[in-house]
Chain A
Amino acid sequence: MLTSELIKPRLRIHGSTLRVEMVNEHDPFLQQTAQDLICLFQRYKGQSHAAWETAMRAYEGTRLDYVFIRGLAKVLADSATFTPLTTPLSPSMLRERTFAYGPVFEKPDMLHPATRQEVLQEIAYEPGLSIAEHDEMLYADRHASYRLADAGPAWTPVELLARYNLELARGALYWASHITIEVANNYKDLWKFIKLFKLMFLAQPMQGGGYRIDLDGPISPFVTSTLRYGRQLAAFFPVLLLCERWQMHAYVRPPHARRETMYRLDHTCSLRSHFKSSGVFDSRLEEDFASEFEQKVGGKRGHWQLTRESEVLLLGDTVMVPDFVLADTEDEQRRILIELVGFWHPNYLRRKVEKVRAANCAHLLLLVYQGLNVTEEDFQDTASQVIFFQKKPVLKEVMKTVEAMAERVYGPRKKPARRGKK
């Protein structure tokens, strides 16, 4: 992520609205700068971080857009790998040995009979080093001496500029106290990252689908203007871009702003996430289940429609996102949630069972792998239905249970309408 010095100059405040001045990815001049830096960076493979910094400053020269140049350079360096030189002796041990001789001088005198050269020959003799190697090793553990081992992805200028824009947008959130987002899909990734970044949320279903989610941190309600979670919110931000439709408003107080400002973004912005979506299917088991469903009972063959992760069960301060939702195509109120409990670690399973119990949810069907160390007893006081399976869930049995559950929860099914609702 960019440092705040690289963000601040690009923030624009109009009244209570915050805007981030992004760059035009198709501007030929900016593309040329990006191209120059990408090439320059490649050339510094194997050289030290300090050498790269010097080269970058030289490239910058007297240009006024140095904030932009340094920003691009930071993006390049952040996605690259700098590694310390491997040394036969740790640099700190070498220093301890070497400094025992200091101070030394180039020319000998009465009080310093051995010259720098002679002293170093003695020190370097045992580990088998030359004086030049000794000098290189002495501070090899400083970050400035780290070598550029891997220059990172093969950027195109447009990609680099796009990523710079993303970093600017997330950088604005460093000074955010909380954000509100509205999303309609991709919950699994959202929740995975909300947890990862230790954020706290409040989710409310919206009319017309989707959720409105308030994000801040545990201490926020007590110190309402705290910026403690800004870094986490910024880290979280790219996940939002993985959603198809979303909008965000963030409450931001940049250091030079007199009061809180509002920063808004939605899916019409051109930012692209560099995070990887966890993919349509988490596991083989789910994929097989979905395809078998489509083959045997999906489409026109039945009245159930299978969708993935379109619903969220809110459980206190956590959530459960069931794998599938079965919706009756003729009566959308009739919905059965399905969660596949596959080959999980016992701890994960225990938490899952706890969640299910807390959900107290009668229209949830659990398909549990029998090899797991759980029995029906474990699910005794849950409101949910459980089917155990050995190799894979038997679709026929599942659908039979689904029908029975729907009848129990929603009452008998109405006669199929002659004319479809839609």
Chain B
Amino acid sequence: MNASIFFQGGTLVLHSSENIEHVPAPFQLVKGRWRSEAYHYHEVLPWIRERDIRNAVPRWPRLALELHDTREPHAYQIQSLDAWKQAGGRGSIVLPTGAGKTLVATHAIRHVNSSTVVLVPTTSLVYQWYALLTNVFQTEIGVYYSGEKRVLPLTVTTYHSAGDLIAEYGNTFKLLICDEVHHLPAKTWGEAALMAPAPFRLGLTATYPEEHEQTGERWRLDDLIGPIVYTQRLETLLGVQLAEYRTQRVRVDLTEEERARYEAAHATYLGFVRERGLQRTHGAGWLRELMRLSAVDQDARRAWLARRQILHLLDSCQGKFAALEALLHEHTGKRILVFTESNEVAYKISLQYLVPVISHETKVAERKHILDAFQNGQYSVVITSKALNEGVDVPEAKVAIVLGGGASKREYLQRLGRILRKKEPLEALLVEVLVRNTIEEGKVRRRYVARENG
């Protein structure tokens, strides 16, 4: 029987290879078979052809993709794409944040014109790429992450889920795109790129890791994706307009009954933390320690539950709903984004006011529909829990209402950034609803101080 090579679970396997002499280096004899990581496909292809080995690896279809994109690429985007093509369709393009990496990617997909998988760090970015590719290619786009699994010639996945996708379908993609490619050296994040045979590879990032950062795991970024083919520095692109914004705080009170519950829970919680001196003994890790103790110590368990009760109470107290209702009235007709701390409250508001919610449960198609409808004015209010936190393009809102009190500094700045990303120089407003005389006020104070100082 003639020798052949096939793809299996992220590896290339030689079949009937008894008569082949000098199997090249990437292959290792494993459990009686010559096997190699699939990313060596590109490298061993000439050898496969020379030895006339039947090649059963590629299962990538040719596509007839058309760009339905009215945006003209900037000169630097065209240059970067040309550099990538010149490098044989392998390597990374380094562009500053906001410089249109995705546009470059869509042109690369159009150039290869074959099935493509896009790896991104978060599910939020899955949604974003899904919406972008749907619009640009006017075709069905697959997604593969914990919430939804649908594999199509153009599929977007998270680094977390990519391993499973590639193990199963690795040889159905000719082009591999790694968004935020600097994550690749991290443990397990590079495995999918290692397991994919895709001969065309594109890495995108604003911050390419230094040589010594590349070798964190068992692979080098340059080996997995190819070298940097193009770099554009930030300085040359400055001049992006930032909208003006102002912030407003709305303070609400707990009802008498809520106040009583709050004080009781607060006493239990804080009493324990102080009594044990957790913050002193465990520093920043004190909360984790409390959680650990709550499985062995009855008082710790009570304190932990009291803390949860407090957060729940602050998130869903009557005053916040009243304030929200007043704000919705006040800003009628404007595009409003409402942020909540929990899913539960987000869905409660949705049902109460008949406005759409986007949570991590919202599937890609519906999410796109909601954001499109928000953009074109059909929906004026969108509720979201934590689903829109990570650098996601959202149609610019005029008003952002933050109901959740637990926002860390990072989240807060991201939320601000959301309404700042504006095309028209309109004044945006961020409203924070806080419960008076509770731990929420303390959080805001701490954040404020941190911002003043840093």
Is A243 among interface residues, defined by CB-CB distance under 8 A? no
A56 contacts partner chain B, Cβ-Cβ < 8 Å: no
Q: A218-B10, A221-B35, A226-B191 are in contact. Are A138 and B163 (CB under 8 A)?
A: no
A residues contacting B by CB (< 8 A) are: 9, 62-64, 66-67, 92, 95-96, 98-105, 109, 111-112, 116, 119-120, 135, 138-139, 142-143, 198, 200-202, 214, 217-219, 221-223, 226-228, 316-317
Given A142-B361, A317-B32, A218:B354 Cβ within 8 A: no
**B residues near A, CB below 8 A?**
8-11, 13, 28, 30-33, 35-37, 163, 167, 188, 191, 194-195, 218, 294-298, 301-302, 305, 325, 328-329, 332-333, 347, 350-356, 361, 366, 369, 373, 378-381
* Chain A to chain B contacts (Cβ below 8 Å), 23 pairs: A62-B301, A99-B379, A102-B353, A102-B354, A102-B356, A103-B353, A103-B354, A109-B329, A116-B353, A120-B354, A143-B361, A200-B9, A202-B31, A202-B32, A218-B8, A218-B35, A219-B167, A222-B37, A222-B194, A223-B191, A223-B194, A226-B188, A317-B13
CA distance A228 to B32 in the complex (A): 22
The 6 closest A-B pairs by CB, nearest first: A218-B9, A102-B354, A102-B355, A103-B353, A219-B10, A202-B31
13 further A-B pairs in the complex, CB-CB below 8 A; given A62-B302, A64-B295, A217-B167: A62-B305, A99-B355, A99-B379, A100-B378, A102-B356, A103-B355, A111-B333, A218-B10, A219-B9, A219-B195, A227-B188, A228-B167, A228-B188
With A109-B329, A135-B351, A139-B347 given, is the CB distance from A9 to B295 under 8 Å?
Answer: yes
Query: Known: A111-B332, A198-B9, A219-B11. Is A105-B353 also a contact (CB below 8 A)?
Result: yes
When C-beta atoms are compared, the residue in chain A nearest to B187 turns out to be A225
In contact, B11 and A102 (Cβ under 8 angstroms): no
Decide: B356 and A95 in contact? CB cutoff 8 A. Answer: yes
Contact partner, A219, options B37, B351, B352, B373, Cβ 8 Å:
B37
Cα–Cα distance between A204 and B212 once the two chains are bound (Å)? 42
Q: How far is the CA of A320 from the CA of B71 in the complex (A)?
A: 59
For A104, A119, A218, A227, the residue with the greatest tally of chain B CB atoms inside 10 Å of its CB is A218
Q: Are B28 and A221 in contact (CB under 8 A)?
A: yes
Max count, chain A CB within 10 A of own CB: residue among B36, B301, B333: B301
| CB pair B8 A102 closer than 8 Å | no
Option from A64, A120, A201, A226 in Cβ contact (under 8 Å) with B301: A64
The residues of B that contact A316 with a CB separation of less than 8 Å are: 32-33
Distance to closest chain A CB from B229 (angstroms):
26
For residue A98, which residues in chain B have a CB less than 8 angstroms away from its CB?
A: 354
A-B contact count, CB below 8 Å? 116
* Chain A residue with the shortest CB-CB distance to B12: A218
CA–CA, A192 to B9, complex, Å? 18
Report the separation of the CA atoms of residues A138 and B357 in the bound assembly, to the nearest whole angstrom: 12
Q: Of B195, B298, B351, which is within 8 A of A64 by CB?
A: B298
Chain B hits for A111, CB < 8 A: 329, 332-333
Bound CA–CA A419/B37 (angstroms): 59
* Cβ–Cβ < 8 Å partners of B361 in chain A: 142-143
Measured in the bound complex, the distance between the Cα atoms of B302 and A169 in whole Å is 30
Q: B9: which A residues are within 8 A, CB to CB? A: 198, 200, 217-219
Are A119 and B354 CB-contacts (below 8 A) given A200-B31, A219-B191? yes
Task: Report chain A residues within 8 Å CB of B167.
Answer: 198, 217-219, 228
Cβ–Cβ < 8 Å partners of A99 in chain B: 354-356, 373, 379
**Complex interface: chain B residues within 8 A of A221 (CB):** 28, 30, 35
Measured between beta carbons, the chain A residues less than 8 angstroms from B379 are 99-100, 102
Cα of A214 to Cα of B296 in the assembled complex, Å: 38
Q: Write the chain B residue with the least CB distance to A103.
A: B353
CB A142 to nearest CB in B, in angstroms, measures 6
Question: B185 CB to closest chain A CB, in angstroms?
Answer: 13
Chain A residues, CB < 8 A from B295:
9, 64, 66-67
Residues in B neighbouring A92, C-beta threshold 8 A:
366
* CB-nearest residue of chain B to A200: B31
For A222, the chain B residues whose CB sits under 8 A away are 11, 28, 36-37, 194, 218
Q: Which residues of B contact A112 (CB under 8 A)?
A: 332
B11 and A218 contacting across the interface, CB-CB below 8 Å: yes
Contact of B328 among A101, A103, A200, A227 (CB under 8 A): A103
Q: A62-B302, A218-B167 are in contact. Are A139 and B329 (CB under 8 A)?
A: no
Inter-subunit contact A219/B332 (CB<8 Å): no
Write the nearest CB–CB distance from B359 to chain A, whole angstroms. Answer: 9
CB distance from A149 to the nearest CB of B (A): 20
Cross-chain contact B354 with A219 (CB below 8 angstroms): no
How far is it, in angstroms, between the C-alpha of A99 and the C-alpha of B373 when the chains are bound? 10
Closest to B370 in A: A99
User: In the docked arrangement, what's the CA distance between A67 and B295, Å?
Assistant: 8
Minimal beta-carbon separation of A312 from chain B (angstroms):
15
Report chain B residues within 8 Å CB of A226: 188, 191
Report the separation of the CA atoms of residues A101 and B355 in the bound assembly, to the nearest whole angstrom.
8
| Distance A69 CA – B352 CA, assembled complex (angstroms) | 34
Chain A residues lying within 8 Å of B28, measured Cβ to Cβ, are 221-222
Q: Known contacts being A62-B301, A219-B167, is A101 close to B354, with CB within 8 Å?
A: yes
Nearest CB in chain A to that of B15: its residue: A316
Contacting residues, chain B, for A103 (C-beta < 8 A): 328, 353-355, 380-381
Residues of chain A with a CB closer than 8 A to B195's CB: 219
Query: A133 CA to B351 CA in the complex, in Å?
Result: 12
* Complex Cα gap A109–B163 (Å): 54
Q: How far is the CB of B175 from chain A (nearest CB, A)?
A: 21
List of B residues within 8 angstroms of A119 by Cβ: 354
Q: Whole-angstrom distance between the alpha carbons of A223 and B33 in the complex?
A: 17
